[in-house]
Amino acid sequence: MTKVTMTVNGKSVSAEAEGRTLLVDYLRGGLGLTGTHVGCDTSQCGACVVHVDGKAVKACTVFAMDVMGAEVRTIEGMANADGSLGLVQQAFQDHHGLQCGFCTPGMVMTTAALLAENPRPTEAQVRHGLEGNICRCTGYHNIVKAVLAASGQDADAIAAE
Amino acid sequence: MHNFEFVKPATIADAVAALAAEGAQPLSGGQTLLPTMKQRLAAPEVLVSLTGIAEMQGVCMGEGGLHIGAATPHAVVAAEAAAHYPALAALAGGIGDPAVRNRGTIGGSVANNDPAACYPAAVLASGATVVTNTRRIAAEDYFQGMFTTALEEGEFITQVIFPIPQRGAYVKFNQPASRFALTAVFVAQFADGVRVAATGASNNGVFRWEEAEEALSAEFSAGAIAGLTVSSDDMISDLHGSAAYRANLVKVLTGRAVTAAR
Ligand SMILES: Cc1cc2nc3c(=O)[nH]c(=O)nc-3n(C[C@H](O)[C@H](O)[C@H](O)COP(=O)(O)OP(=O)(O)OC[C@H]3O[C@@H](n4cnc5c(N)ncnc54)[C@H](O)[C@@H]3O)c2cc1C
Ligand code: FES
Ligand code: FES
């Protein structure tokens, strides 16, 4: 076991980890931040997406030790300072972009990274950007609406297919 | 997953020393190796992360063409190669999904040589050079069948150098579940001829379609290959597509790539 230190949601944190400890287990088990979910554990579903130095990554497919010292952001860091829902989270609530909610942390983190790079994506760009996030409840239509709304666009303009 | 010792050298020289250890294996983006280790298909005793080595990062023009550090993630290639080699940048931007592109690297992809991977087609069609810690390997000599390469024990890729064609395009027929290529073709037109490489199709991994190269070198148009056929003898056959289907895809995608080339 080694003490692994990084910055998570703006705070310097440390917890014990082995070589094989995945970032997602470090966050959930080591730090008790259970908002990041494990859906598949095989890098297919995107439920575990967090930001490492501003980039969306699948936390189930990164070793904690490999991102020692990095700036990590998880779903727990997405609310506003006063505890109210952040912009992307609020858009998901407003547009019913979640059903069971299991995929939502990953969807929100991927969306935030997408919008940071491309503040006004087209519907096609949103769908391409969310390719690595699978929703078992299959509520993609409202998810895409939520992302467009979070970017300040008219979400109702997209075709209901 | 079996446990291992994790090391993260900061220089190529330190990585060479770390990889000399018994049971040592390089780790790049981990997008292939981590799932493999979870399945216990790989169980290294020492894992040597290459992602902290500055000399192995980045994209720049240099002698022989575009130099890409082996530990450069796909997303960085997609952004930074765009001005120099648009077809290669587009290939990188179509690998997997954003999170995979933020971690997965060109070196890991070329080392792994998955028969359905994208980069091997670009390396072979461009006549790229694979640079390792000990030597330079021409694309022709590097790929030796699916998941098999010329790399020796302890040897690792530090850089890939791509000659830049006059025109090129990569057209990928997606396997939507895995997001890999069901079949894909890279076409590159150089002053001295056209090169065509197909991935996702053959049991022997990435390969050049020489008949099409000859026809396209004489006339660079989709019509030039209309009369050719691809043999299905050595093609992959699985639940996603039969050998004959893949053989036909090679031809169809080659035509589309010629039309799309810029
Ligand atoms: C959901 C998903 C979708 C994907 N879709 C695609 C796709 O569409 N197209 C595609 O091409 N790929 C795809 N991939 C694979 C992805 O591109 C991987 O990033 C890539 O194959 C391996 O690169 P890596 O840096 O992650 O390597 P790693 O997983 O770290 O390593 C892979 C192998 O290469 C060895 N290795 C790593 N670096 C070096 C080096 N520099 N020298 C020698 N050996 C080395 C390792 O020891 C290991 O055996 C996908 C992966 C996932 C999870
Ligand atoms: S849990 Fe990481 S991608 Fe599914
Ligand atoms: S809301 Fe249930 S998995 Fe997406």
Residue A160 counted as domain residue: no
If asked whether residues A67 and A111 sit together in one domain, one would say no
CATH of the domain at B43: 3.30.43.10
Average pLDDT, consecutive stretches of 10 residues, N- to C-terminus, chain A (161 residues) = 96 97 98 98 96 98 98 98 96 96 98 97 95 94 96 81 54
Report CA A42 to chain centroid distance, whole Å: 16
H/E element, A73: strand A71-73
Question: What does the pLDDT read at residue B179?
Answer: 81
Give A-chain residues touching B99 at CB under 8 angstroms.
Answer: 43, 46, 49, 56-58, 110, 132
Instruction: Pick A61's closest partner by Cβ from B8, B30, B49.
Output: B30
If asked whether residues A74 and A92 sit together in one domain, one would say no
CATH of the domain at B94: 3.30.465.10
Question: What does the pLDDT read at residue B176?
Answer: 83
DSSP 3-state percent helix, strand, coil across chain A (nearest 5): 40, 15, 45
If asked whether residues A74 and A101 sit together in one domain, one would say no
Choose, out of B2, B100, B172, the residue to mutate when testing the contact with A (most A CBs < 10 Å). Answer: B100
Choose, out of A57, A114, A115, the residue to mutate when testing the contact with B (most B CBs < 10 Å). Answer: A57
Q: Which domain holds residue A36?
A: 2-78
If asked whether residues A68 and A101 sit together in one domain, one would say no
Rg (CA), chain A: 16
Of A78, A112, A131, which residue sits at a domain end? A78
Residue A161 counted as domain residue: no
Cα Dmax for chain A = 53
If asked whether residues A22 and A50 sit together in one domain, one would say yes
If asked whether residues B172 and B156 sit together in one domain, one would say no
Ligand 2 centroid, distance to A132 Cα (angstroms): 9
If asked whether residues B155 and B68 sit together in one domain, one would say yes
Token couple for B174: 């997606």
Shortest distance, CA A52 to any CA of chain B (angstroms): 9
Whether B45 contacts chain A with CB within 8 A: no
Global pTM reads 0.96
Report CA A29 to chain centroid distance, whole Å: 18
Q: Which domain holds residue B223?
A: 167-260
Token couple for A2: 């080694």
Residues of chain B with pLDDT under 70: none
Using alpha carbons, select from A29, A55, A59, A54 the residue that is nearest to residue A43: A59
Shortest distance, CA A49 to any CA of chain B (angstroms): 8
Using alpha carbons, select from A148, A3, A1, A122 the residue that is nearest to residue A69: A3
Question: What does the pLDDT read at residue A160?
Answer: 59
Q: Would you tell me how many other CB atoms lie within 10 Å of the CB of residue B183?
A: 28
Of B144, B162, B180, which residue sits at a domain end? B162
Residue whose CA lies nearest to ligand 3 atom number 4: A135
Question: What does the pLDDT read at residue A62?
Answer: 98
CATH of the domain at A92: 1.10.150.120
Instruction: Pick A42's closest partner by Cβ from B35, B47, B98.
Output: B35
Q: Which ligand places an atom closest to the C-alpha of A47?
A: 2
Name the domain count of chain A: 2
Q: Are B12 and B133 in contact (CB under 8 A)?
A: yes
Residue whose CA lies nearest to ligand 1 atom number 1: A44
Residue A24 counted as domain residue: yes
Distance separating alpha carbons of residues A73 and A9, to the nearest angstrom: 5
Question: What does the pLDDT read at residue B216?
Answer: 98
Q: Which ligand places an atom closest to the C-alpha of A96?
A: 3
Name the domain count of chain B: 3
If asked whether residues A8 and A73 sit together in one domain, one would say yes
Residue A94 counted as domain residue: yes
Ligand 3 centroid, distance to A88 Cα (angstroms): 16
If asked whether residues B121 and B154 sit together in one domain, one would say yes
> Does B75 sit within 8 Å of A131, measured CB to CB?
no
Rg (CA), chain B: 18
If asked whether residues B174 and B125 sit together in one domain, one would say no
If asked whether residues B78 and B153 sit together in one domain, one would say yes
Distance separating alpha carbons of residues A51 and B104, to the nearest angstrom: 15
Token couple for B101: 């592109």
Question: What does the pLDDT read at residue A74?
Answer: 98
If asked whether residues B153 and B207 sit together in one domain, one would say no
Ligand 3 centroid, distance to A124 Cα (angstroms): 21
CATH of the domain at B220: 3.30.390.50
What ipTM does the predicted assembly reach?
A: 0.96
CATH of the domain at A69: 3.10.20.30
If asked whether residues A7 and A73 sit together in one domain, one would say yes
Question: What does the pLDDT read at residue A155?
Answer: 84
Size of interface A-B (CB pairs under 8 A): 74
